Amino acid sequence: MRTSLDDLSLVLGELALFRDLPDTVIAEVARAAHVVSLPKGAAIYASGERPKALFHVMSGHLKVAVSSPEGGEKVIEILSPNQLFGVAELFGDAPYVSSVETVSPVVLVSVGRDGIFRAMDSEPRLMRRMLAAVAQRQSSIERDIAADCLQSGSAKVVEYLRRMGAAAAAKAARIELELAIPKNVLAARMGFTPETLSRIFRELSDAGFIQVLGKHVTLTEKFTRQYACGTERALAERRPASRSGVWFDRPAAVPTGHAAWN
């Protein structure tokens, strides 16, 4: 996608990483940047390639994955709009360990490594923001490891839905969500099969927490009251132990009118 230098400067100036920086710094970054529009299934970079740029997701979703020599794949992150990726890798000489691929049509901004480094040399605030992005990424990795080790499959799904609905939680008792990524990708990210994910959605639906129709999910008032508005500590305190690993309350009778996500 061809974009003029002035337009790129305007786009970059709206991104949190570059916002309120001097025009000269933005122009330096813009000279090393371009906007990329890609279809579903396109590779951004592959394991073993050398880092050359950082990326900002403007629209669409991508998966970050690692592969085994036998061909198995583990999805380790789903990237959404307004997320940065490829930041930490710019500061080392090691090749990428993971690969990144679009799971929907995507528009992103790519900024070349040399342009970023030149801009950091002249603007300390950009350096601090880059370090903050690396620190945020590290915290995210630690949270993901903790979740994989300590949370049940049901807890992972509830937390995912809770985060998706967090912005609207204070405004509505019922929250309408559209799942933007395929079921198999979401299941792989959480570490289980699509069939397990469908079962957990059915259990949440039967318990009256959600209503599902295709990729459209409604978080019911019961869900928002118990989960979406709670703090992390309160959420953890509401997780009773269970042989099944399901820590939401089950109703005495199975409700009707809830479709499974297939």
Dump the DSSP string for 101-150: EESS-EEEEEEEHHHHHHHHHH-HHHHHHHHHHHHHHHHHHHHHHHHHHH
Six-digit token string for 152: 């049940």
d(CA 38, CA 109): 11
Per-residue model confidence (pLDDT) at position 167 = 62
User: Is the separation of the CB atoms in 219 and 209 below 8 Å?
Assistant: yes
pTM, whole model, 2 decimals?
A: 0.74
**Residue 176 parent element (H or E):** strand 175-178
Q: How many residues does the chain have?
A: 262
User: Is the separation of the CB atoms in 100 and 2 below 8 Å?
Assistant: no
| Ranges in the chain annotated CATH 1.10.10.10 | 151-237
Angstrom distances, CA of residue 162 to CA of 111, 225, 226: 32, 11, 10
CATH classification code of 5-149: 2.60.120.10
| Cα dihedral 192→193→196→200 (10° resolution) | 60
Per-residue model confidence (pLDDT) at position 228 = 59
Six-digit token string for 205: 């639906």
Residues 6+ apart with CB under 8 A from 243: none
Coil, helix or strand at residue 67: strand
Six-digit token string for 14: 């709206």
User: Is the separation of the CB atoms in 32 and 114 below 8 Å?
Assistant: yes
Per-residue model confidence (pLDDT) at position 2 = 62
| In CATH, 151-237 is 1.10.10.10 | yes
Per-residue model confidence (pLDDT) at position 146 = 84
Six-digit token string for 66: 């690692």
Nearest alpha-carbon partner for 238 in 115, 157, 176, 155: 155
Nearest alpha-carbon partner for 61 in 15, 106, 1: 106
Block means of pLDDT (10 residues each) for the chain, 262 residues, are: 81 93 94 95 95 95 91 88 93 92 96 95 94 90 82 88 73 81 87 91 93 90 77 41 36 35 44
d(CA 164, CA 186): 13
Quote the Cα angle for 228-172-190, to 5°.
35
Per-residue model confidence (pLDDT) at position 125 = 95
| Ranges in the chain annotated CATH 2.60.120.10 | 5-149
